C-alpha cells in the first residue's frame, strides 16, 4: 500500500522534536481525521539551519512530516515556501489510497494506522 520510502520515514522518522527558542513555528491540521503537525525552524542567514517536527496522526502524516523536514533543511526561506504537497517527484507515494492524507493535503477521511510522534 505505501512505498518503501514512506514506510522508512514512518518507521524511522527524521528530525522529530521541538526547537527551543525557534525562529519560526507553524502548525497545521486536518479536522476530518485529526492529524496535527507542528514544525519549528532555526534560520541562519535566510537559510533553514535546523528543523524539527511533532506530529499526532496517521502513518502518512508522520511520514510526510519527516519527509518535508528533510526537503526544507538547508533551503532558503523562499525556496522552502515553494514546497507544496505537489512538490514530490512521486506525488502518490505518501498515500496511495486518496482517502488517507497527511496534514499538508486537503481534508479527507484518514483510515491508516495511527502513530504519535508528539
Domain at 25, CATH number: 3.90.1010.10
Q: Using CA atoms, how far apart are residues 52 and 91, in angstroms rounded to an integer? A: 23
Whether residue 52 is contained in a domain is answered as: yes
Whether residue 15 is contained in a domain is answered as: yes
**Number of domains within the chain:** 1
Whether residue 68 is contained in a domain is answered as: yes
Q: What is the pTM of this model?
A: 0.71
Whether residue 118 is contained in a domain is answered as: no
In which band, very low, low, confident or very high, does the pLDDT at 88 lie, cut at 50, 70 and 90? low
Edge-to-edge strand list for the sheet holding 24-30: 24-30, 35-44, 47-58, 114-116
Whether residue 93 is contained in a domain is answered as: no
Whether residue 56 is contained in a domain is answered as: yes
Whether residue 110 is contained in a domain is answered as: no
In which band, very low, low, confident or very high, does the pLDDT at 50 lie, cut at 50, 70 and 90? very high
Give the structural domain span for 45. Answer: 4-88
Lowest-confidence region among 11-20, 31-40, 68-77, 91-100? 91-100
Q: Using CA atoms, how far apart are residues 71 and 113, in angstroms rounded to an integer? A: 24
The label of the residue with cell 494506522 reads: 113
Whether residue 83 is contained in a domain is answered as: yes
Amino acid at each position: 500500500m505505501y512505498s518503501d520510502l514512506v514506510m522508512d520515514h514512518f518507521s524511522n522518522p527524521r528530525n522529530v522534536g521541538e526547537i527551543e527558542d525557534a525562529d519560526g513555528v507553524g502548525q497545521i491540521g486536518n479536522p476530518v481525521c485529526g492529524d496535527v503537525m507542528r514544525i519549528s525552524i532555526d534560520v541562519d542567514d535566510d537559510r533553514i539551519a535546523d528543523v524539527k517536527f511533532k506530529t499526532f496522526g496517521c502513518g502518512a502524516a508522520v511520514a510526510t512530516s519527516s519527509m518535508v523536514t528533510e526537503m526544507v533543511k538547508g533551503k532558503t526561506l523562499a525556496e522552502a515556501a515553494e514546497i507544496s504537497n505537489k512538490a514530490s517527484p512521486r506525488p502518490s507515494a505518501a498515500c496511495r489510497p486518496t482517502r488517507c492524507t497527511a496534514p499538508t493535503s486537503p481534508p479527507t477521511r484518514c483510515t491508516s494506522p495511527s502513530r504519535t510522534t508528539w
